Amino acid sequence: MVSPDAGEKIDRKKLPRHIAIIMDGNGRWAKQRGKSRIAGHRAGAKSVRDAVRACGELGVKVLTLYAFSVENWRRSDLEIDALMRLFKQYLRSEVKELDRNNVRLIASGRIDGLPKSVQKELSGAMAVLEKNTGLILNIAINYGGRTEIVDGIKKLVPLIKSGQCRAEDIDEISFGNYLYTAGLPDPDLLIRTSGEMRISNFLLWQIAYAEIYVTDTLWPDFRRHDLEKAILEFQKRERRFGGTG
């Protein structure tokens, strides 16, 4: 258990610039309580609010949340509809607080593959928050790490064919400009809740040197002290990026 003053132990000069979170465990949280999966997702929205507030107050630059993967379309129509409604409700209910806290909202994924009503709500919220200069909240929705790389290649191919870009000039840095996360720093810290030891097709390119932190805490129970514990653990690690200590 983390002490209440865990946040005071964090070195603000060594914060991860970018934290990415795989928000897992909503279904198990609901099952343990005899509730529907939808109730678990609804409870998880409270954890989103807590994580966003904490990252903003600590001074983290970017927070990426894995909200809905391209594989999640395999779930039941009932659950998908509920998730989309919940996402729209979150945007409506939180946009004012996000604005007060100077949060800018962006999204990563195949956004044009979302229901039109979701696209409209998302674009409206992003427009309201686009001039904010604090925490960047990046929602990964209809997202997949492999599809992101494929989509990046699809953007590059016509440029090469037309002569606007030479294949031999493409390197890791320039290729990053064709990904959904162009302009963002790579994640320094990847957090996965619920104890599962999987990446789940999340930010496959970007997390090449991210520190990975897994907690058994289910996402609906994840609160600020859990985030602070992950950051404290991150600050203990030696990041060598392939070199020696």
Joined together, the tokens standing for residue 185 give: 């720093």
Q: Is 50 a catalytic residue?
A: no
Catalytic residue selected from 50, 72, 101, 221: 72
What's the CA gap between 94 and 162, in Å, rounded? 44
User: 10 Å Cβ neighbour count for 183?
Assistant: 9
CA nearest 135: which of 173, 92, 106, 175?
Answer: 106
Distances from the Cα of 182 to the Cαs of 68, 117, 138, 176, in angstroms?
Answer: 20, 25, 12, 6
Q: What do you get for the CA distance between the two ends of the chain, in Å?
A: 30
User: Is 208 within 8 Å of 41 (Cβ atoms)?
Assistant: no
CA nearest 105: which of 67, 145, 73, 132?
Answer: 132
Q: Is 72 a catalytic residue?
A: yes
Active site residues: 24, 72
